[in-house]
Structure 1
Amino acid sequence: MLKQIRRHGRSALLAGLLGLAAVPVAGCGGDGSEQTPTAGVEAPPEVVTTTAEAEQPPAPSAAAAPDPCALVSKREAEQLAGTPLDDANPVRETCTYTGPVTGPTAQVEVFVGDGAKKFLDIERDLGHELRPLPGVGDEAYATHEAVFVHQAGRWASVRLVRLNDPEENQAPLERVARTVAGRL
């Protein structure tokens, strides 16, 4: 079974455990009677909810990250890239707009939360030049290909991939940084 777990991962482990749960447990005594796997185990207490509690929507988490695709719209991503882009591809705390396969090469990536902060940390670790962007959010930086914005305890970053002179991207990246800061 250990080889199966290594080969097939968690699904094999889960299947194996479910298979074991289906095997009846025989007692060690002499009468051969079967015992149920739940013998001696108490059921969890029942949760009782009042009508007023049931009608209340769950309170949003103060740390809930905003939708990255709402931070930079498709139209704004196209303005940044200078070309038409495909529809957004949201995955967890990211949103990616890619150029069509017919070209030109372009991509805009938006990160929110821990991923955005990690991206900034990696840029620092690699020794890439980070220019401060005064007046943008609580804290903001720009590289030749990305901007990083910290506002109200949240980080966001926008990365632009194009095959052009990176200096051409500086002003558009700074504009999108201001937009993102206003939406955080």
Structure 2
Amino acid sequence: MIVRSRPVLVTLTALVLALSAGCGRFGGDDPPAVPQDAPPAATGADPATEPTEAAPAAASLDACALVTKADAEKLTGTPLEDAVPVRETCSYTGPVTGPTAQVEIYVGDGAKKMLDIDRELGHEFWPLPGVGDEAYAEDGAVFVQKGGQWVAVRLVLLNDPKESRKPLEAVAGTVASRM
């Protein structure tokens, strides 16, 4: 039998409230509005890091629009759950009943970092000529750069990765055409 004492509950409640207050917003309140004509300092923007016309912000690219559910299902060869977008990423997963399948799309600096890490790990890459400004493939992933923006598409299937090479390369071309 668990015995709860009032002082312990009060202490735990106070701790939770203190932690939630110290960690930022707790709940769904919107941040205060910033006037449209506010200077960059008021918006938190740094003019030195603002995107230029040559390199649009990653946020301007919708990862789920770059690879649609239909594209992802064609790539995996199986039905997938609806997209789960999170910031500059999008994921499609197979149903819990199987088979194992997942397509992940990353936009921006994270996509480039994935390519850099895989290179450091010694993964084998091959170029994809004519796709975007620069594109590479490896078993289970493609990386496309166009207009200064990077996109990575990762595929998780329980098959021989060589079977997915051509479909992944086709997705790279689709991504480049939508960037």
TM-score of the superposition, structure 2-length normalised? 0.71
Q: Which residue of 2 aligns with 1:64?
A: 57
After superposition, the C-alpha distances for 1:76-122 in whole angstroms (9 at most, x for unaligned) are: 00000110000000000000000000000000000000110011011
CA distance, structure 2, for counterparts of residue 154 and residue 48 of structure 1: 26
Spell out, residue by residue over 1:8-58, the C-alpha distance to the aligned partner (whole angstroms, 9 max, x if none): 78635379xxxxxxxxxxxxxxxxxxxxxxxxxxxxxxx897xxxxxxxxx
| 2:133 maps to 1:138 | yes
Q: How many residue pairs get matched? A: 138
Distance 2:107 2:144 in 1: 10
User: How many angstroms apart in 1 are the aligned matches of 2:36 and 2:167?
Assistant: 55
Tell me whether 1:160 sits opposite 2:155 in the alignment: yes
The TM-score normalised by the length of structure 1 is: 0.69
| Cα deviation digits, residues 112-148 of structure 1 (max 9, x gap) | 0011001101110100001111111110000010000
Sequence identity percentage? 64
- Secondary structure of the residue aligned to 2:79 is coil
Aligned to 1:170: 165
Q: Which has the higher contact order (CA 8 A, sep 6+)?
A: 2
Q: Judging changes above 3 Å, is the alpha-carbon distance between structure 1 residues 48 and 154 closer, same or farther for their aligned structure 2 residues?
A: closer
Change (3 A) 1:10 1:77: same
User: Which of 22, 30, 44 is 1:13 aligned to?
Assistant: 22
Q: Which residue among 76, 90, 99 is the counterpart of 2:71?
A: 76
| CA radius of gyration, larger in | 1
In structure 2, give the amino acid aligned to 1:137: G
Give the unaligned 5+ runs of structure 2: 1-14, 25-34, 38-49
Q: What is the CA–CA distance in structure 1 between the aligned matches of 2:71 and 2:175, rounded to whole Å?
A: 11
Partner of 2:142: 147
**Deviation for aligned residue 1:68:** 0.1
Matches of 1:173 and 1:155 in 2, distance apart? 16
